[in-house]
Amino acid sequence: MTNNSSSGGGYKSSGGGYKSSGGGYRNSGGGYKSSGGGYRNSGGGYKSSGGGYKSSGGGYRNSVGGYRKLIQAYTLFKWFVGAKIFKHKKPLQSVIFITDRCNLQCRHCSVYNLDNPHVKTFDEIYAELQYCYDLGAGFVDFEGGEPCLWNDNGRDINDLITAAKQDIGFFSCTITTNAQIPFQSNADSVWVSLDGIGKYHEQIRGNGTFATLEQNIAKANHKALSVNMVINTLNWESVAETIEYVKHNPYIKSISLNFHTPFKGTEHLALDMEKRREIIDLIIKYKRKGYPIMNSVSGLKKMKHLSFKKQCWVTNFILSDGTKLEQCAGATEGVCDRCGFCMAAEMNSVFNFCPDTILAGLKLRL
Ligand SMILES: C[S@@+](CC[C@H](N)C(=O)[O-])C[C@H]1O[C@@H](n2cnc3c(N)ncnc32)[C@H](O)[C@@H]1O
Ligand code: SF4
Ligand code: SF4
C-alpha cells in the first residue's frame, strides 16, 4: 500500500533513468527550513495539536459524516472477522494505476512510461472501480504515473473520486501524487511523495521539485495531506530532518516511511538490512517521542527482518495496462524477500492483534 498508503512501486522496467546534477535547491542553511513557503500558514486552516497529529480545521469540506463512519467501522470489523476467523481473502483496498504518464523521471522508479504511456479512459477506470468494489474493497487509491495529470475529455481525477464514492459506494478515496502541478483534491486523503529535504529529494526527483512541492501543498491546503518517503541509498541521511520537517509543516499531517523495493533496474538503491535496521531504530525513537509517524512500532520492528507471514492480498492492484493483480507487483517480480513496503508488516501486525497497529489503522481509516 501506498505507504501506509498503498503504493505498489514499480512493476515494469522502463529502462529510463533520470540524471540529476544535484544542484538547484535553495536551502536557507541547515536542516529543514526551505524557501518554498512551506512553513507559512495561509491564515486559516490548520492548528497544531501539540506533539503529534495536526487537526484539520477549516478549508475543505468533510463529506464523511458520523453515520458513514459507523458503517465504515462495521465494514472493517466484518472484513477482519471474515479474514481472521473464516480465512476469507477479500481485498480491503484497491490500487488503480490510471495512467503511467508522468512529469518526472525519478531515479528509484520503474513505473513511469516515457515512450508509449497507457492512459485509461474514464469508462475503463469506472469499470475497474466497479470490479474492485464487487470484490469487496471499500477503499481505493489512485496512482500512476502521475494521477493529477490524468484527464479524459475534460474529466479529471476529482471526477473519478466523485464517481467512486457517490455512484459506486467506496468509503474513501486517496491519491498519491508528486505535487508538481497545483491540485485541489476532493480525495479523503492525499499522499505526497517526499523523498527527503531539499537536495535529497531533488537528487531523486529532479531540480526544483522540492520548492514546487512545498508551494503546491501549501496552496492545496488539504485537510488530510500526508507524505510518503521511500528510503534508499541516496536519501537515508535525510530521514531525521524529514521527520522534523513534517512535524513543523502546517500543511502536512503525518509521514509514512517505506524502504526502496528493488524492482528491476533499481536494485542498487536498496539499503542493506543492517542499515535498514539502524534507520528503523531511529524512526522508532522519533515515534516514541510523539512525532507524527504513521507506521506503528510493531510494524517497523517486523520490517527489520522481513520474516513475517505476508498477507498482501489485502490490497489488489490494477496496472495501467489493465493487468489485474491480487497483490502488488513485487510478488510477480520475486522481490518480496527484500520488500520495502511497510504496509506488508502493518497488515501482519493487524492480523496478530498488535494494539498499536490496530490503533494506527483505525486512525488512518476512520
Ligand atoms: C509510483 S509513484 C505514483 C504516484 C506519483 N507519481 C508519486 O510519485 O507520488 C507511487 C509511490 O511509489 C513509490 N515508489 C516508486 N518506486 C518505488 C520502489 N522501488 N520502492 C518503493 N516505493 C517506490 C514512489 O516514491 C511513490 O511514493
Ligand atoms: S513521480 Fe511517481 S510515477 Fe513519476 S517517476 Fe516519480 S515515482 Fe515514478
Ligand atoms: S511482500 Fe511482496 S507483494 Fe507484499 S508488498 Fe512486499 S513486495 Fe509487494
Alpha carbon distance 54, 290 (integer Å): 12
**C-beta of 103 in contact with ligand 2 (< 6 A):** no
The answer, yes or no, to whether any atom of ligand 1 lies below 6 A from the CB of 141, is: no
What ligand has the least distance to the C-alpha of 1? Answer: 3
Question: What is the end-to-end Cα distance of the chain in Å, rounded?
Answer: 17
The answer to pTM > 0.75 is yes
Task: Using alpha carbons, list the distances in angstroms from residue 184 to 148, 255, 364.
Answer: 10, 20, 21
pLDDT at 102 over 60: yes
Q: Which atom of ligand 2 is nearest to the CA of 102?
A: 4
**Mean pLDDT over each residue of the chain, to the nearest integer:** 84
Q: Is the CB of 143 under 6 A from ligand 1?
A: yes
**DSSP secondary structure of 322-350:** --EESS-HHHHHT-GGG---HHHHHHHHH
The residue extents of the domains of the chain are 64-365
Cα 77 to averaged position of ligand 1 atoms, centre (Å): 30
Query: Does the pLDDT at position 40 exceed 70?
Result: no
Q: Supply the residue whose CA is at minimum distance from atom 2 of ligand 3.
A: 336
Buried b (16+ CB within 10 A) or exposed e, 41-64: eeeebbeeeeeebbeeeeebeeee
Q: How far apart are CA 362 and CA 190, in angstroms?
A: 17
Computed from CA positions of residues 228, 231, 235, 241, in that sequence, does the dihedral angle turn out positive or negative? positive
Spatial distance between the Cα atoms of 66 and 185, rounded to a whole number of angstroms? 22
Q: Is 226 in the pocket of ligand 1 (CB under 6 A)?
A: no
CATH fit for domain 64-365, picks 3.40.1190.10, 3.30.70.270, 3.20.20.70, 3.40.50.300: 3.20.20.70
pLDDT at 104 over 90: yes
pLDDT tens for each residue of 254-300:
999 999 999 999 999 999 999 999 999 999 999 999 999 999 999 99
Average pLDDT over residues 143-156: 97
Rg (CA), the chain: 19
Over residues 336-356, the mean pLDDT reads: 88
pLDDT at 44 > cutoff 60 = no
**pLDDT for position 366:** 64
- Residue matched to cell numbers 544535484: 22
All three cell numbers of 183: 491540485
pLDDT at position 65 is: 65
What was the pLDDT predicted at 71?
Answer: 81
Amino acid identity, residue 213?
L
What distance lies between CA 199 and its chain's CA centroid?
Answer: 21
Tell me the CA distances in angstroms from 196 to 190, 240, 300, one per residue in order: 18, 9, 19
Q: Is the dihedral of CA 338, 7, 325, 11 positive or negative?
A: negative
CB neighbourhood size of 73 (10 A): 13
CA dist list (Å): 18 to 115, 159, 173, 261, 306: 14, 32, 30, 18, 30
Ligand 3 mean position, distance from CA 264 (Å): 14
Rounded distance from Cα 207 to ligand 1 centre (Å): 18
257 lines ligand 2 (CB under 6 A): no
How far is the C-alpha of 317 from the C-alpha of 226, rounded, in Å? 21
pLDDT band for position 365 (50/70/90)? low
CA of 33 to the centre of ligand 3 (A): 35
Which pLDDT tens digit goes with each residue over 190-212?
A: 999 999 999 999 999 999 999 99
